[in-house]
């Protein structure tokens, strides 16, 4: 017996959620062309490959996926799918596709496109970073291991139906189908692009790429045939790349730019904030981010839990938020406040130098010890690392700060026994999708504690791993609250072992011109950074 669990269409859901998403704002007006700037060039718009915070939001808008999020919220809703049902054992997902949706090359989107697109994202030949997300689909190992060229767990009985067969229950599966790697692409366009689909993208999303002049600009135009009425609101956005943030800000103040994607340089932040129009230009939004210091449990003396707990009490997190001009709040657990499962009542380890010293003495280090703290070398990260260094010195721990290029820090973190402590700034975890499990596996679970992994504490707790698997098996939507609570408990229980010092939850800052409308959470949307579908120009 299948338990039917039909959802409303995206349209209905979005209408229902709209008052929440754009509270206290005037209704979006249609039309208008805007200019967006970034310092870095856009690497790729191929949804199977793109994985940085700049191209993430553009890929979101170029393509459609079976599932998407209601704007500004962490709630997955059907998008390209019209409806779906989940089998009671959580192993079969059946999706009915919306009819009449067309790719920008004119062809209708059919079920086999969904199958092809996900297989393409998993296929090692694509060299995509997102393959692992689809690990629950049957036949995954055969495709990644080169034994098959398709995923046996995706079936397309007719043009309008896609059935996923999973090898294990995965409560995050709806989120997985909403991430960029699950974007639907037409096979013929991928083949025609001959290896460069990232520069010649074809999708069925809200926008169509009209022009890409390498190193200069990209022009996105509204898809007039998009399947949700009055979405998107703007007619066109031009992304100008290679723009120094300071220059972008000057141009924004002159009205030449509408969104400065890199935000406001730290040196200018207070000046803008205190200027007449400044407050309306700054969008300062919460994101699913936690900045932390990893304590390598395989390196002495961090193998001693008392040492790890002591250092958790030694860091003055308030001071670090001041280095960031107050664009952060102190953290006491791995999950950020925006993430379902975050425990507001959890006390964590309070800042207490005397208690930290006492605990260090108890652990056998009354005079402290010497260690090394790694950090990336772009401002303000070395300054934060120095603040941590000073805090550690106050409890007798002499830490040498090693500020390196990001790639080298990542390499040190993934090498066993190499980096005793790493300040995660510039590489900190920002969730791929708004589900607590995304904060566990790669960075705190046993699976990530391998050479080349991202669990830089090398922390592996089999008991917590088992609880994580149990929580992710609760794919019955009726148990969602129970599952969220189970995850929340995993993260607060982890703090007893203290593999991290959770330091801050940093907010993202985007600068927008005065004519741009919409709530802050569509400029810093937890699931897509800038939500090009929802922003609008005030008329």
Partner 1 sequence: MAFLILRRIVQMALILLGVAAITFLLLYALPADPARMIAGRSATAQTVANIRRELGLDQPFLVQFWTYLANLLQGNLGRSYAQKTEVATLIVARLPATLTLMLAGIVVEVVLGMILGTIAAVRRGGAVDRLVMMASFVGVSAPQFVVALLLLYVFAATLGWFPMSGYGSFAHIVLPATTLGVLGAGWYARMVRSAMIDVLNQDYVRTARAKGLSSRRIIFRHALPNAVLPVIAMIGIDIGQFMGGVVVVEAVYGWPGIGQLAWQAIQQVDIPIIMGVTLTSALAIVLGNLIADVIAPVIDPRIRTR
Scanning 22-30, 259-267, 411-419, 507-515 for contacts with partner 1 by CB under 8 A, the matching segment is 411-419
Q: How far apart are CA 455 and CA 294, in angstroms?
A: 8
Min separation Cβ 247 and partner 1, Å = 5
| In contact, 85 and 5? CB cutoff 8 Å | yes
Q: Report if residue 149 touches partner 1, rule: CB under 8 A.
A: no
Residues touching partner 1: how many (CB under 8 A)?
59
| In contact, 235 and 33? CB cutoff 8 Å | yes
- What is the residue-wise DSSP string for 293-305? EEE-TTSTTTTSH
Beta pairing partners, 403: 375
Q: Report if residue 43 touches partner 1, rule: CB under 8 A.
A: yes
Give the DSSP H or E segment for 114: helix 111-122
Q: Report if residue 411 touches partner 1, rule: CB under 8 A.
A: yes
Q: Report if residue 97 touches partner 1, rule: CB under 8 A.
A: no
527: burial class by Cβ within 10 Å (0-12, 13-18, 19+)? buried
Q: How far apart are CA 293 and CA 421, in angstroms?
A: 6
Scanning 195-203, 328-336, 363-371, 492-500 for contacts with partner 1 by CB under 8 A, the matching segment is 195-203
Q: What would the x/- binding string for partner 1 be over residues 231 to 270, using CB under 8 A? A: ---------xxxxx-xx--xx--x-x--------------
Applying CB under 8 A, which of residues 87, 323, 338, 412 lies at the interface with partner 1? 412
Q: How far apart are CA 258 and CA 268, in angstroms?
A: 18
Min separation Cβ 71 and partner 1, Å = 24
Sign of the C-alpha dihedral computed for residues 474, 478, 482 and 483 taken in this order = positive
Min separation Cβ 502 and partner 1, Å = 17
Q: How far apart are CA 151 and CA 50, in angstroms?
A: 22
3-state secondary structure of 429: strand
Scanning 132-140, 309-317, 367-375, 501-509 for contacts with partner 1 by CB under 8 A, the matching segment is 132-140
Place of tokens 């697109």: 117
Applying CB under 8 A, which of residues 4, 27, 147, 195 lies at the interface with partner 1? 195
Min separation Cβ 341 and partner 1, Å = 18
Min separation Cβ 54 and partner 1, Å = 11
- DSSP 8-class letter at 370: E
Min separation Cβ 216 and partner 1, Å = 5
Q: Report if residue 191 touches partner 1, rule: CB under 8 A.
A: no
Within 10 Å of residue 228's Cβ, how many Cβ atoms?
Answer: 17
Q: How far apart are CA 8 and CA 23, in angstroms?
A: 22
| In contact, 42 and 239? CB cutoff 8 Å | yes
Q: Report if residue 454 touches partner 1, rule: CB under 8 A.
A: yes
Applying CB under 8 A, which of residues 33, 40, 235, 465 lies at the interface with partner 1? 40
Q: Report if residue 434 touches partner 1, rule: CB under 8 A.
A: no
Q: Report if residue 15 touches partner 1, rule: CB under 8 A.
A: no
Min separation Cβ 130 and partner 1, Å = 7
Q: How far apart are CA 531 and CA 36, in angstroms?
A: 12
| Residues within the interface to partner 1 (CB under 8 A) | 39-41, 43-44, 46, 49, 51, 124-125, 127-133, 135, 144, 195-199, 213-216, 240-244, 246-247, 250-251, 254, 256, 405-408, 410-412, 414, 427, 429, 432, 438, 442-443, 447, 450-454
């Amino acid at each position: 017996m299948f338990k039917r669990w039909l959802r409303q269409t995206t349209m209905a859901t979005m209408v229902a959620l709209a008052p929440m998403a754009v509270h206290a704002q005037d209704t979006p007006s249609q039309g208008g062309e805007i200019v967006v700037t970034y310092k870095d060039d856009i690497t790729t718009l191929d949804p199977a490959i793109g994985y940085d915070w700049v191209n993430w939001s553009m890929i979101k808008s170029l393509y459609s996926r079976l599932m998407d999020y209601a704007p500004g919220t962490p709630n997955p809703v059907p998008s390209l799918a019209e409806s779906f049902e989940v089998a009671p054992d959580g192993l079969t997902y059946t999706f009915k596709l919306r009819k009449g949706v067309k790719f920008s090359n004119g062809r209708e989107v059919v079920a086999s496109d969904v199958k092809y697109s996900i297989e393409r994202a998993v296929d090692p030949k694509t060299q995509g970073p997102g393959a692992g997300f689809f690990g629950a689909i049957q036949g995954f190992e055969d495709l990644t291991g080169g034994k098959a060229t398709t995923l046996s767990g995706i079936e397309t009985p007719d043009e309008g139906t896609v059935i996923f067969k999973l090898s294990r229950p995965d409560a995050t599966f709806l989120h997985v189908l909403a991430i960029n790697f699950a974007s639907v692409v037409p096979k013929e366009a991928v083949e025609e692009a001959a290896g460069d689909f990232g520069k010649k993208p074809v999708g069925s999303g809200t926008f169509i790429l009209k022009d890409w002049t390498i190193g200069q600009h990209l022009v996105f135009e509204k898809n007039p045939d998009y399947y949700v009425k009055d979405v998107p609101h703007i007619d066109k956005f031009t992304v100008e790349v290679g723009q120094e943030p300071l220059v972008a800000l000057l141009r924004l103040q002159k009205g030449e730019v509408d969104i400065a994607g890199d935000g406001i340089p730290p040196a200018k932040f207070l000046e803008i904030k205190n200027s007449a129009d400044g407050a309306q230009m700054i969008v300062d939004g919460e994101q699913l981010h936690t900045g932390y210091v990893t304590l390598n449990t395989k390196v002495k003396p961090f193998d001693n839990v008392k040492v790890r707990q002591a250092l958790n009490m030694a860091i003055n997190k308030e001071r670090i938020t001041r280095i960031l001009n107050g664009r952060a709040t102190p953290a006491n657990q791995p999950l950020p406040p925006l993430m379902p499962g975050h425990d507001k009542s959890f006390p964590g380890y309070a800042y207490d130098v005397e208690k930290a010293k006492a605990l260090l003495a108890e652990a056998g280090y009354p005079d402290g010890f010497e260690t090394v703290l790694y950090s990336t070398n772009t401002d303000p990260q070395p300054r934060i690392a120095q603040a941590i260094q000073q805090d550690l010195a106050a409890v007798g721990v002499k830490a040498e700060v090693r500020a390196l290029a990001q790639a080298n820090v990542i390499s040190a973190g993934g090498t066993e026994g190499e980096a005793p402590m790493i300040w995660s700034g510039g590489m900190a975890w920002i969730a791929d999708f708004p589900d607590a499990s995304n904060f566990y596996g790669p960075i705190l679970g046993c699976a990530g504690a391998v050479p080349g992994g991202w669990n830089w504490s090398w922390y592996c707790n089999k008991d917590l791993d088992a609880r994580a698997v149990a929580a992710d098996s609760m794919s019955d939507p009726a148990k969602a609250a129970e599952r969220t609570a189970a995850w929340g408990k995993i993260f607060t229980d982890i703090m007893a072992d203290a593999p991290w010092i959770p330091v801050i939850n940093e907010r993202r800052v985007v600068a927008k011109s005065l004519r741009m409308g919409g709530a802050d959470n569509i400029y810093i949307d937890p699931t897509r950074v800038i939500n090009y579908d929802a922003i609008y120009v005030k008329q």
